[in-house]
Amino acid sequence: MTLFIVGGAGYIGSHMVKLAHLAGHKVITLDNLSTGHRDAVLYGAFEYCDIQDANRLNELFKKYTPDAVMHFSAYSLVGESMSDPYKYYNNNTVGTLNLLKAMIDNDCKNFIFSSTAAVFGNPEYIPIDEKHPKNPINPYGKSKLMIEQMLEDFDSAYGLKYVVFRYFNAAGHDESGELTERHDPETHLLPLIMQTVRGEREAISIYGNDYDTKDGTCVRDYIHVNDLSRVHLQGVEYLMSGDVDSKVYNLGNGEGFSVKEIIEKVKEITGKDFKVIEDERRAGDPDTLIASSQRAKDELGFKPEVDRVEDIIKTLV
Ligand X SMILES: NC(=O)c1ccc[n+]([C@@H]2O[C@H](COP(=O)([O-])OP(=O)(O)OC[C@H]3O[C@@H](n4cnc5c(N)ncnc54)[C@H](O)[C@@H]3O)[C@@H](O)[C@H]2O)c1
Catalytic site positions? 140
In whole angstroms, how close is the CB of 317 to ligand X at the nearest point? 19
How many CA atoms lie within 13 Å of 261's alpha carbon, on the beta-carbon side? 16
Nearer to ligand X, 122 or 216 (CB): 122
Nearer to ligand X, 42 or 216 (CB): 42
State CA 184 to chain mean position distance: 16
Give the separation between CA 244 and CA 161, rounded to whole angstroms: 8
275 forms beta bridges with 203
In whole angstroms, how close is the CB of 271 to ligand X at the nearest point? 27
In whole angstroms, how close is the CB of 298 to ligand X at the nearest point? 22
**DSSP output for 130-192:** TTS-----SHHHHHHHHHHHHHHHHHHHH--EEEEEEESEEE---TTSS-----SS---HHHH
Residues in contact with ligand X by CB under 6 A are: 7, 9-13, 31-36, 49-52, 72-74, 76, 91, 95, 114, 116, 167, 169-170, 183
Residue 148: burial class (beta carbons within 10 Å; 0-12, 13-18, 19+)? middle
In whole angstroms, how close is the CB of 10 to ligand X at the nearest point? 2
Nearer to ligand X, 33 or 216 (CB): 33
Please, where are the H alpha helices in 186-308? 189-197, 225-240, 259-270, 294-300
Nearer to ligand X, 247 or 252 (CB): 252
Q: Specify the 3-state DSSP secondary structure of 303.
A: coil
